[in-house]
Structure 1
Amino acid sequence: MTSTKTADVCVYGGTPAGCVAAITAYQEGASVILIEPSRWLGGMLSAGIKPRQDCPVPAAVGGVTRDVILELGDDPRDIMRGFHEWIAGTGITVIFERRVRSVRREGNRIAALQLETSQPDRWGVPLPASESVLDTVVAASVFIDASYEGDVMALAGVPYRTGRESRDAYGEQVAGVRPVTNWTPIDPYAVPGDSASGLLSHLDADHGRPLGAADDYTQAYNFRLYVTTDPARRAELTPPDDYHPSDFELVRRYVIHQGDDLTALRGIFPGWLNSGEYNYQRASLISNAPLGVSRAYQDGDWDERSRVWRCHIDYLRGLHHFLSTDPAVPEEFRAETAAHGLDAAVFPATDGWPPQLYVRVSRRLDGRYTVTHDDVRNRTAPADSIGLALFGVDVYPTRRIPHRDPETGQVGVATEGDMFIGGHLGTGKPYPIPYRAVTPKQSDCGNLLVPVCLSATHIGYAATRMEPVFCVLAESAAVAAVQSIDRQIDVQDVDVRCLQARILERGQVITWA
């Protein structure tokens, strides 16, 4: 038998933005319920990303993001502890290990969420939908979807986007299918030279769409890894049960092509040393993450997402074992790789696996305003700014495909989709995110705000998708939520001038001089 919990504001997702939204709504006088499908708060900031590393101009950040989030430090353990203590010091009700299964609507408003169980396994992999059971119902006046997946938004029937728009859809010259990168002259076929033999594992067939065309791919996900050779901290990386070296034939051919270049091989594993943790090495044809599978996650159910999450784990386990044992790998690098395991001291609750898969983008709200590359380039001036963003268009590869070199005619393997326009500083000038980008059209839903899966193109989102920005937008969204409750109006009818006045009082930065 299910129970019903009620609050003024329901925040879905214990991401950094979700925690900020919950705290803000509570500070503004609302009763709050925070729902987190896992048992951990802090999302990617508790799973390897540092609060300041994607914030190149801290002066553009204000409010509790500046005062609390950016001060959490660099150690994931301290960051996670900080989020839990921050929330525990309030009257906020937190529901862990539950996720939304369905949404009940009344007219243009969400009335309640039906939750189901969602206990993660010992490595943090979400519970498949087929194994969950119905649980609590949560009713609220306003809902804030602060999840990385946008499930409340989607289940409420609010329109959204996935994949990549075409170049023509919003006049974005860098949108859609992109030129290939990392082209390498290695044969992509199971039987070299025989296309009828099929592609090797970890390759996608090229859909053949022209440059600038739309498709359903999205940039790669990965884990931000902490590895160690210290026996006291090391959690062994074992191969998956279905491991077979033939699944890594593409890696074998790439290793042979690189020869004794150990620097290039370290780009595969452990990857790129970012800020103490290892990230995806985008300059390597083969990396520590699978390619092409993220597109199944973005709009999938939790059976599919659980599979994709485990795919990332098993790929890394198999890759590590291959690089540690296969005779094609230089002996020195085999030994070096075999000595590494996950650092269980950093993530002890999950045997060293980060508790959050780095979901760089999934669904994106189709809202009242769409953030595009023009916004990123400071070519717009929306009057309803609720916070600033500042980063380059940062897209990790989307596909790994066979590709024929147009000059030589030789078939090789390449990645596609990778771009980093403007570096960390983008155009060097922070750009405003309008309130309309976090609110649906009024006819779609009148009591929902979406500060993480905000309304943006694939390109616009690629520059905006940083945790400090999500947190800034979440604080402003929470203030708007409380104002809509106090005035008994839809979130779209909130007076933007009153909203901006209040968030400025809270220390937000909404314009850049």
Structure 2
Amino acid sequence: MFAYEYDVVIVGGTPAGITAAIAAAREGKHCLILERTGHIGGLPVNGLGATDIATRDATTGLFKQFVSLNKEYYKAQFGMDSPQVKQSSDGYHFEPHVAAASFDKMIGMAGPGKIEVLVFRQFDSAPKYVNKEGNTIQSIRILNRQTGHEEYYSAQVFIDATYEGDLGAAAGVPYRLGREGIDEFDEPCAGKIYRWWKHGPDEEGTTYQGDNAIQAYNYRLCLTNNPNNRLPVVKPEAYDREEFVSLIEDVLTGQNTDIRFSPVDSAQIQANRRKILAGEKTAIPGDPWGIWKLCSMTSLPNRKVDANNQHLALLSTDLPEENWPWPTSGWAWRDQYAKRLKSYTLGLLWFAQNDKVLPEHFREACKSWGFAKDEYQDNHGFPRQVYVREGRRLEGMHLFTAHDALPLEKGGRPPVYSTSVTASHYALDSHGVRKREPERVHLDGFFSHPSAPYTVPYGVMVPKLINNLLFPVAVSGSHVGFSTLRMEPCWMALGEAAGIAAALTINNEVSVREIPINLLQETLLNNGATLIYFNDLKATDVEFKEIQKLALLGFFPEWEASLDEDLDINTGHLWNKLTHKNIPYNGKAKRELIKTLLTEWSQIEN
């Protein structure tokens, strides 16, 4: 058996896979990305153009480079004062083809020959496709989808950057599927839950019991209302009108899942019906109109939008239940589901634009939108990849739960992990797991619960037994805990950390569990990453690296570092307790004491 040899082999050309390759290449490693489709870039290249992040400065490093390149593209193409630059929101909002160009540029910046990318390379998640000696992966077997031949690839370290956790599962890493009940980790939003959008309350039918349900997938659509760049929605061959008829009553009654709809009575609903049939728009609180009834839309440059599932609707672009087998199914089943989901999505849009039972002015409002014809030109303007929000959750050294993202006390931080490899911040957030049910206020499983900027420990992507595997996407967590980690900025940051960790594993001739965490963190900080978030610090600040290290050890527990303030007595006591020293601090600003503090701590560590 001949195997192509690399230092690091990455399965999955997702954003995390790309950042892993770049980070390892910066450390001098020869990297290979194996991607099943014809295009790398994952969801940002397939419609997710409105970045899901709550606190932008919480996640930096290569992710920040990506958004900066997006902004630079619009500046170069249209000028600094152009509407496109403004609409890009500093590069956090971008068109799919711009994301693809930014990723290509980032790979090129790693240096010639450092990163190889092979597309149409399929890994099938079965043990026979992984060659192991004990707990070490020697090589993997890949199908070349263009030639039909099998290929073998060996590496010193493998990185599973798939959305599904395919390589980790095939290598024997245990994993979780579905939802834990509230009895397992006592998490908010655990298990079966029916909740008014956005923050509750929980209603009839909620049991908080665990099950095997997987949150819904959809396509993130790139739509436009620019007639010069608009492709019409075509009725799919497998169109089934009955799937969409519930939309008619939803439009006429104004039914929606917003908490503001809860006090609406039958008289208001009938009045709204008469209003709409008379040619007016809905007057029901929380009720979107036109295409917004089907899609939640965020503006992108050049009159485009990122069209996601409409969380206020009981019928939208998500297709719950039917995706449950996806995480553990083979590619033949997944491809069939992808076709089914595309047909469903096209059918929903076509119904909204053309079904004559719907009010004409509603249909006309929907008809002004279509697919952007300058995107996915090889796929008729339709995205090429399903949005797999959650697949397997591979079990690692640390299981991330909701409590890792929630403040320990009101106004305070979540737990701070000394092994943090990135800070991150997004709400605990899950889409529905079941289709609409009679008398339910929302789809089962939909929730959004506030969190605070948190630290992500290295252990979420480190297996307990396999020596040379990392998984920065299908990370270790409960369903609720994973629901905040699953955003592309966090995944990209974890990918960057995985790439550096892979290099350290090779350089130190140890397992991924035994690498020197301090060197991993030092390298991340040298490359502009953020390991713990502060309201008053940026990665470009002079003392940023030092404060990051000290904060992870407990020296700066507040949200502000307040470096120009004199050291107060309570903080002084804390520092002396942590260092077991008597540091003089009377009348001195914190900024002046940082070097002393690092010296004292270094002496204790040694």
TM-score under structure 2 length normalisation: 0.71
Aligned to 1:126: none
Measure the CA separation in 2 of the matches of 1:418 and 1:81: 34
Residue 94 (structure 1) aligned with residue 93 (structure 2):
no
Give yes or no for contact 2:63–2:492 (8 Å, CA) kept in 1.
yes
Structure 1 residues 209 and 160: alpha-carbon distance in aligned structure 2, compared to 1, 3 A threshold: farther
Is 1:155 matched with 2:167?
no
1:317-365 residue CA offsets vs partner (Å, 9 max, x unmatched): 1112222332320012223434532111133232111222221111111
| 2:157 corresponds to which of 142, 147, 152 | 142
**How many Å apart are 1:86 and its aligned residue?**
2.6
Partner of 2:584: none
Structure 2: runs of 5 or more not aligned: 71-90, 198-203, 255-272, 300-304, 409-414, 535-606
Check 1:284–1:449 CA distance in 2 against 1; reply closer, same or farther (3 A cut): same
2:185 counterpart of 1:167: no
**Over aligned residue pairs, what C-alpha RMSD do you find?**
2.4
Distance 1:75 1:246 in 2: 34
Please tell me whether the aligned partners of residues 215 and 430 of structure 2 are also in contact (alpha carbons under 8 angstroms): yes
Q: Which residue of 2 aligns with 1:359?
A: 388
Identify the structure with bigger relative contact order (alpha carbons < 8 Å, sequence gap 6+): 1
Q: 1:86 to 1:282 in 2, by over 3 A?
A: same
Flag the structure with larger Rg: 2
Secondary structure of 1:136's counterpart equals strand
Give, in whole Å, the separation in 2 of the partners of 1:159 and 1:341. Answer: 43
Higher strand share: 1
User: Which stretch of the first structure deviates more once superposed, 84-93 or 363-372?
Assistant: 84-93
Query: 1:210 & 1:239 partners in 2: Cα distance?
Result: 37
Structure 1 segment 50-449 matched on structure 2, within 5 A: 50=49, 53-72=51-70, 73=91, 74-89=94-109, 90=111, 91=113, 92-101=115-124, 102-118=129-145, 133-181=148-196, 211-258=207-254, 259=273, 260=276, 261=281, 264-266=288-290, 270-275=294-299, 276-379=305-408, 380-404=415-439, 414-422=442-450, 426-427=451-452, 430-442=453-465, 445-449=466-470
CA drift at 1:209: 8.3
Q: Distance in 1 between matches of 2:493 and 2:171?
A: 24
CA distance change for structure 1 residues 13 and 322 in 2, over 3 Å: closer, same or farther?
A: same
Deviations 1:162-201 (A, max 9, x none): 111111111213211112548xxxxxxxxxxxxxxxxxxx
* 2:463 counterpart SS class: coil
Whichever residue aligns with residue 54 of structure 1, its letter is D
Aligned partners of 1:227 and 1:86: how far apart in 2?
27
Query: Cα deviations across residues 117-144 of structure 1 (Å, max 9, x unaligned)?
Result: 447xxxxxxxxxxxx9442211111011
Aligned match of 1:490: 511
Q: 1:291: how far off?
A: 2.2
Paired with 1:268 and 1:349, the residues of 2 have a C-alpha distance of 27
Q: Which deviations, in whole Å up to 9, do the C-alpha atoms of 1:30-80 show, x marking residues without a partner?
A: 1111111112122111122247x3233232223222234443232221210
Moved over 6 A (4+): none
State the partner residue of 1:200: none
Q: Which has the higher helix share?
A: 2
Aligned residues: 460
**CA drift at 1:504:** 2.2
Q: Structure 2: how far apart are the matches of 1:393 and 1:169?
A: 17
Deviations 1:451-503 (A, max 9, x none): 11110111111111111111111111111111111111110111222322232
What is the alpha-carbon distance in structure 2 between the residues aligned to residue 436 and residue 137 of structure 1?
29
SS in 2 for 1:367: coil
Letter in 1 for 2:140: L
Equivalence map 1:26-45=2 (5 Å): 26-45=25-44
Q: Percent identity?
A: 30
Alignment check: 8 A CA contact 2:13 2:40 kept: yes
- Corresponding position of 1:128: none
TM-score (structure 1 length as normaliser): 0.84
Residue in 1 that maps onto 2:478: 457
